[in-house]
Amino acid sequence: MVSTARQIDPPVSEADYFALERDTDIRHELLDGQVFAMVGGSFNHSRIVGNVFRRIGNHLEGKPCEVFAESTKLRFPELIGGFNYVYPDVVVDCSTHLAQDNMLVTPVLIVEVLSRSTRRRDETVKRAAYRQIPTLMEYVLIEQDAVDVEVMRRGSGWLPENYFMGDSLVLESIGVTLRVEEIYERVQNADVEEWVGRNEREA
């Protein structure tokens, strides 16, 4: 999901944030006291979210963990007090009975699809904030304009591992293996086109 920032000084209170959410049809995130409006993303963004959501959902059938996409809010504490409220592109929670006011609070896996408007926040502010969530085991960043899947795991000190076409990655938090080609199914960018063309020539 693409977002635009509304810089307000002093920081926005939680009460004002919820009033904004209640009074408009546009979803907003509150991150470190700043409000970000969530606006529609690209076809590629939606394709990647759908691909990841569908494959994780299939894997979790009959299991206690659940996967949610885009419209489900996640709440987690700020470092300096108060709470952050975000809408991850894909999030897996294995303790949804602990959810509060229809907001997840115990994610084990968060996936964000990068766009020009969200890249800096996803790679910096959110990366640092998400790492403070006690239950989170993995954070995944997926490029949409190129092929690059970055996985950070608590178990390896949040060191990034990158995956490209031809690779498979294991989401250890839920025990599922995804092929990068599956993540980028129907996505249109130069890297995907090059991969498809090379495979066709070698067939």
Give 107-149 pLDDT, tens digit per residue: 999 999 998 777 877 788 888 889 999 999 999 999 999 999 9
Phi, psi of 100 (to 5 degrees): -125, 120
Evaluate whether 92 touches 129 at the Cβ level (below 8 Å). no
Positive or negative: CA dihedral 195, 45, 96, 12: positive
8 pLDDT band (50/70/90 cuts)?
A: very low
Give the model's pLDDT for residue 9: 53
- Cβ-Cβ contacts under 8 Å for 176 (sequence gap 6 or more): 55, 56, 59, 170
Query: Measuring CA to CA, how many Å separate 121 from each of 105, 114, 195?
Result: 20, 10, 29
Report the mean per-residue pLDDT for the chain. 91
Instruction: Please give the average per-residue pLDDT across 95-112, as a whole number.
Output: 96
Q: What percent of the chain has pLDDT over 70?
A: 96
pLDDT digits (tens, 9 = 90+) for 13-54: 999 999 999 998 889 999 988 898 887 779 999 999 999 999
- Alpha helix (H) ranges present in 25-171? 43-59, 119-120, 126-130
Residue 144, judged by CB atoms within 10 A of its CB (0-12, 13-18, 19+), counts as buried
Pairwise pLDDT comparison (124 vs 100), residue with the higher score: 100
Taking residues 145-159, what's their average pLDDT?
Answer: 96
d(CA 82, CA 101): 16
